[in-house]
Structure 1
Amino acid sequence: MPYQTSSPLLFIIFNRPDTTLTVFERIREAKPKRLYIAADGPRTSREDEEHLCSEARKVIEQVDWDCSVETLFREKNLGCKYAVSSAVDWFFSKEEEGIILEDDCLPSNDFFRFCDEMLVKYRYDSRIRHITGCNLQYGKKWGDATYYFSRNVHVWGWASWKRVWNSYDVELSKYQRPEAERQFSNVFSEQLLIQSWVDIFQQLKDGKIDTWDYQVGIINFFENGLCVIPNCNLVSNIGFGQNATHTFNEVDRNANIPHEDLPAEVIHPEYILAETKADSLLLNRDFDIENRLKKLRKKERKMQIKRLLGFK
């Protein structure tokens, strides 16, 4: 028998009825007792999107287990930034804790068991702010426990508490660049990494990035929080491709990562500390730090040679 979750669940959908149905089938296996479904409205500039959104919303018709269902179906398009963040606002206005899945994040059945156990274990531990099912370490294990702690937050299938979401701010309104830049230097030692996050921060403040999730990560850095990450991958992103909002590259290494089995007994870490090497490995890869440093050193060497030859 598949594991049945005890946690309420928010399912965020939009315009992809195919992936929506695929993810919903896993939700159906887990049979949450309280299911919330949120959907952004269609964009008037996209032909046939109204039909696609309508088809995706029909997933509600397939709820065939004992379950209370609430919906937040937008008539007008809010965009990724506001549609998702307001959906999570809505969810946590009704629940103290729960699981959040988007329509392209395919969980294994073990994901629900993992989230349930972590939500209970760290319910009152303010050091722990997020739980994720997504592991992007490509088979590398960190420590002997079933999971490790990270300062990075992954939101391809995650869970959290109202106590954490209360500090979420989609506009990052209480943070300003000069102080934020100084605080990023307290989080990271590599200057290129600091500058990368400062650039993202400023683009978010300027409204140049239509997303909600960078804010989650930045606030977690500034709150000095930890994210629980399983040492096995429990969620696969099946949404890479031309119909995606942000993840267009179908051959991306992070696309369709296979599920792994969660051990029957979850072994907890002895120390509640971030695995800094795991974090560095991920961030250095995502921001291409090694290649960027090589280019900088090459440029600096050229400038030194020019100066030696008397060129300005």
Structure 2
Amino acid sequence: MRNMLRTPVLFLVFNRPALAERVFARIREAKPRVLFISADGPRAEKPDEAEQCAAVRRAVSLVDWDCEVQTRFQAQNFGCKKAVSSAIDWFFSQVEEGIILEEDCLPSQSFFKFCQELLRHWRSDERVMQISGSNFLFNQSAGSDGSYYFSRLNDVWGWATWRRAWRHFDSSMASFPAFTARDRLQDYLPSASMRAWLMGYWEEAYAAVGSKRGDWSSLWQYAIASQNGLTAVPQVNLVANVGIGNGATNTRGGSWYIYGQVGAQELAEIRHPVFVLPDTRADERRFAVIQQTDRRAQIPYARSV
């Protein structure tokens, strides 16, 4: 079929069947030729979760288009950090590049086209390590002359990358002591408040190495920073987070609801920017939103780095 998505998709699911069905419907519309589905197992201390996980797996197994499907359904619970990172390891052990969606990330169809085109365009450019589907500038345009800009900050609510970038992900953060001793974050980020915010997460992640505590996304952000990497961010938001609130792992209400107000839009066209440079002003505006939702980004929680 001519309109089928050529780029492999990894769909990460857990225990929310209604959300997983909505996202799966968008994947079905895109019709990827290759689909990987990875599901973490139910938690032993939550007796109702086994049926919820089973319902999710039934819903996302209804592939009715010409598609190569691979599944990885875990019997036990590994927790968000290991379940997600090991699933991405599994994905990139078999493909060179791909799109990654979780069960609460509802994409527009432009998201798939955007990721596919940028994966192709930046395939051999080591400077670009991630393609994001999220834009949380709340209708403030970035300074790029293209339909996306480059950022030092990354969001992972619908994204894409390459094996060549993911190989820098290290769950042990082995290079972190040298990174901090040489003050390399100052080379990467000009803003002291941003540095303090990120360093707080990374120190917490490093302290949690080897345990279920922490999250995989901090480790991925560190991997990008350690390579002086950039994330491509669309000028409009292409993925809506529909899972904020009860049932969420990291976004349970409070100020997080601001993100739930941002819908998934369509891109009229894809124009590549002339310059491959981080948009510092756009990053400052993004960080201002982060400061509204994350207390660790706020004074007095932020410390000088």
TM-score above 0.5? yes
The alignment partner of 1:6 has SS state of coil
RMSD: 2.4
Aligned to 1:273: 277
The equivalences for 1:26-65 within 5 A come to 26-65=26-65
Report the residue type matching 1:48 in the other structure: D
CA distance in structure 2 between the aligned counterparts of 1:99 and 1:106, rounded to whole angstroms: 13
Report the residue type matching 1:229 in the other structure: V
The equivalences for 1:233-252 within 5 A come to 233-249=237-253, 252=257
Bigger radius of gyration, 1 or 2?
Answer: 1
> Are the equivalent residues in 1 in contact too, given 2:230–2:278 (CA < 8 A)?
yes
- Report the more deviating stretch, 54-63 or 1-10: 1-10
> Are the equivalent residues in 2 in contact too, given 1:156–1:237 (CA < 8 A)?
yes
Report the residue type matching 2:259 in the other structure: N
Report the residue type matching 2:227 in the other structure: E
Report the residue type matching 2:149 in the other structure: Y
The equivalences for 1:1-312 within 5 A come to 4-142=4-142, 143-176=144-177, 179=180, 182-207=183-208, 209-249=213-253, 252-263=257-268, 265-287=269-291, 292=299
Q: 1:213 to 1:2 in 2, by over 3 A?
A: farther
Report the residue type matching 1:40 in the other structure: D
- Report the more deviating stretch, 56-65 or 42-51: 56-65
Report the residue type matching 2:299 in the other structure: R
Q: 1:295 to 1:241 in 2, by over 3 A?
A: closer
Q: 1:291 to 1:215 in 2, by over 3 A?
A: closer
- Report the more deviating stretch, 284-293 or 10-19: 284-293
Q: 1:190 to 1:145 in 2, by over 3 A?
A: closer
Aligned to 1:303: none
How many pairs does the alignment contain? 295
Report Cα offsets for 1:233-282 as digits up to 9, x if no partner: 1100001011011110176211141122201x311111110101111222
* Residue 211 (structure 1) shift: 0.8
> Are the equivalent residues in 1 in contact too, given 2:130–2:231 (CA < 8 A)?
yes
* Residue 179 (structure 1) shift: 2.4
> Are the equivalent residues in 1 in contact too, given 2:15–2:56 (CA < 8 A)?
yes
> Are the equivalent residues in 1 in contact too, given 2:244–2:252 (CA < 8 A)?
yes
> Are the equivalent residues in 1 in contact too, given 2:193–2:302 (CA < 8 A)?
no
CA distance in structure 2 between the aligned counterparts of 1:169 and 1:231, rounded to whole angstroms: 30
The alignment partner of 2:272 has SS state of coil
Q: TM-score scaled by structure 1?
A: 0.88
Q: 1:58 to 1:221 in 2, by over 3 A?
A: same
Q: 1:257 to 1:172 in 2, by over 3 A?
A: same
Gapped runs of 5+ residues in structure 1? 297-312
* Residue 198 (structure 1) shift: 2.1
Report Cα offsets for 1:11-51 as digits up to 9, x if no partner: 00000001000000000000001100000000011130001
> Are the equivalent residues in 1 in contact too, given 2:197–2:297 (CA < 8 A)?
no
Using the aligned pairs only, state the percent identity. 38
Aligned to 1:310: none
Q: TM-score scaled by structure 2?
A: 0.90
Report the residue type matching 1:261 in the other structure: E
CA distance in structure 1 between the aligned counterparts of 2:228 and 2:287, rounded to whole angstroms: 17
Report the residue type matching 1:144 in the other structure: D
Q: 1:150 to 1:291 in 2, by over 3 A?
A: closer
CA distance in structure 1 between the aligned counterparts of 2:21 and 2:298, rounded to whole angstroms: 40
* Residue 132 (structure 1) shift: 1.0
> Are the equivalent residues in 1 in contact too, given 2:21–2:60 (CA < 8 A)?
no
Report the residue type matching 1:174 in the other structure: S
